[in-house]
Chains A and B, each alone.
Chain A
């Protein structure tokens, strides 16, 4: 077969990407504390321990709060910035947009360190609030990149038409622009949410004593006894991620189809 080599390469590549993730549920249901083959037997004990673990529950709610808030903040701010940059020309636009996009290429450890120094200097106590600030900062470039595409694909005269038909500038935006960029907003929320949820460095630096999921998981991997629980947690996270992506993609595609826009491709 002509493409035999390439096909093998593709299969190995995908296996390398996803086989480790498949190990998570395997060991999450394995009746043994050692992560090694052969498997011993089926158990749901680790899930029970996971639910009973108070610190873990706290880390989970913390992460959820942080991710939701950061996603909302980054997307809202992103809407302002993306609209301003696609619709208007103003002095200093290019440098301003460049600075907003900079965290995309800035090493996160630098961002985390400098934020920590500033927060300590100003005297703001470390909490999930400071993590939210940090996460909003690093989510913004992604949100703006997605939203700018959504805004710039809109015909400027749509808004003018609504205004011309008697609406105010705000209601024209709400009635015409917002529904049309909604798929972009959903994408941006989702992207920011997932970035924030698994972010480690900033959370590690800025969370103070509050655990988030990544920092908690990292701290627990030192104890062999708790590794199966982490496997269970990982399994839950994988399932939730797949569900979330599926739902979001469904709404995005529906939005795109309903308005007859060109599908620029989402995440799935």
Chain B
């Protein structure tokens, strides 16, 4: 079965490097950087009694940006969203929306609208009445308002649903009604509190794409709260990762994934392998480290991240940044190590391999997780097989 070789290929001639943004995405990012600030938080603190829920939040969200607040439950992301919406008072600091101080502006007067986690569709009203709810104080004539409702329903793909009872809708449809109800008011900022968490996986993925399209179409600033890192990566221009009431890292999705600033962020965003490392020497461009199972590596200074005080010094790499090949197969990856497959997890399109790397003293390392795209019709190596692991220093991050 010499085909096993190819089973494990992505092209070994191209050592993996972090995915980079296409020129189109780059121009969008440049545009956003030039846009005016829409939401500014300056040293925002929030206390609930003794509990310090927000610990000095500083961030600027620009007009037209799709921004995500990502973090585990209890990290303060929802609190931050609710302070922007005006549902929570802040204990100290400043929140500006479109340049205006929001300190004395209650939620019903703010240029923001919210899509709630539970959707909060009014069950006693029809779909059209739900969507028109915010227009009650709008002085326009009835016919114009009805047209606006129709347009909003069309925008979210619910044309013809106006007369339906809201409580009879499915989860995805409720979500759309909630979006239409908020967007009909043409807010400057749309706040979304875990809007997709109640949907099943397929529906969620579909809504993610629809939300992106919708956001590009209306051009409104979206602020999304989510605990799902994949959702944040898929949808956002920039992401703020929050832990314990503070922002741990604020970056574009690609940077966050390929250059996490700390082990904690790396752990939270996707999967990352960690191997204990010892610093051997510091040079102008590189730091030389000795890594268990990988040997000596020169890590460029750009690939250095922080760590928590009690963590050991570590090297981290993503599962897809490394390749596995059957032992003895020639390959061009700049660095190669031997190992044994410990576990194979098959995902259909991908396979995850847990590989124990050979140590210099003859022992084996803790398993590292390596992912490879499956190529149709070819074999997947099995548990216990000897393999060569190919990698490049450019995909390694030093946490110290």
Contacts and interface: CB of A to CB of B under 8 A. Distances in A.
A binds B: yes
A244 interface: no
Given A162-B133, A164-B113, A258 B108 contact: no
B122 interface: yes
Interface string A155-172: 101101111111110000
B51 to A, nearest CB: 14
Nearest to B168: A260
A102 to B, nearest CB: 30
A176 B121 CA distance: 10
B113 to A, nearest CB: 6
Contact of B118 (A157, A175, A176, A260): A157
B123 A166 contact: no
30 contacts: A155-B118, A155-B120, A157-B116, A157-B118, A158-B120, A160-B116, A161-B116, A161-B120, A161-B122, A161-B181, A162-B122, A163-B107, A164-B85, A164-B108, A164-B113, A164-B114, A165-B108, A165-B133, A165-B134, A165-B185, A166-B108, A166-B109, A166-B136, A167-B108, A168-B108, A175-B133, A259-B124, A259-B167, A260-B166, A260-B167
A157 B117 contact: yes
B124 A160 contact: no
B248 interface: no
A11 B162 CA distance: 51
B123 A157 contact: no
B177 to A, nearest CB: 11
Query: Which 3 pairs between the two chains have the least Cβ-Cβ distance?
Result: A260-B167, A165-B134, A161-B120
A172 B254 CA distance: 42
Interface of chain B, helix or strand or loop or mixed?
mixed
B87 A166 contact: no
A180 interface: yes
Interface string A161-196: 111111110000001100110000000000000000
A255 B113 CA distance: 29
A261 interface: yes
B5 to A, nearest CB: 56
A163 B118 contact: no
Contacts of B165: 258, 260
Give the interface SS of chain A, mostly helix, strand, loop or mixed.
helix
B120 A166 contact: no
Contact of B134 (A155, A166, A176): A166
Contacts of B109: 166
Interface in A92-120: none
A172 to B, nearest CB: 8
Interface in A235-268: 258-261
B231 to A, nearest CB: 20
Given A157-B118, A161-B114, A165-B133, A180 B87 contact: no
A157 B108 contact: no
Contacts of A163: 107-108
B137 interface: yes
Interface in A127-168: 155, 157-158, 160-168
Interface string B118-134: 10101110000000011
Nearest to A180: B124
A158 to B, nearest CB: 5
A158 B121 CA distance: 7
A15 B118 CA distance: 49
B184 to A, nearest CB: 9
A14 B112 CA distance: 60
Contacts of A259: 123-124, 167
Contacts of B167: 259-261
A155 B108 CA distance: 19
B166 to A, nearest CB: 8
Given A260-B166, A261-B123, 9 more contacts: A157-B117, A162-B122, A163-B108, A164-B112, A165-B113, A166-B137, A179-B124, A259-B167, A260-B167
A183 B54 CA distance: 40
A165 B182 CA distance: 7
A264 to B, nearest CB: 15
B117 A158 contact: no
Contacts of B185: 165-166
Interface in B171-230: 181-182, 185
B122 A176 contact: yes
Given A164-B114, A165-B113, A167-B108, A260 B120 contact: no
Contacts of B113: 164-165
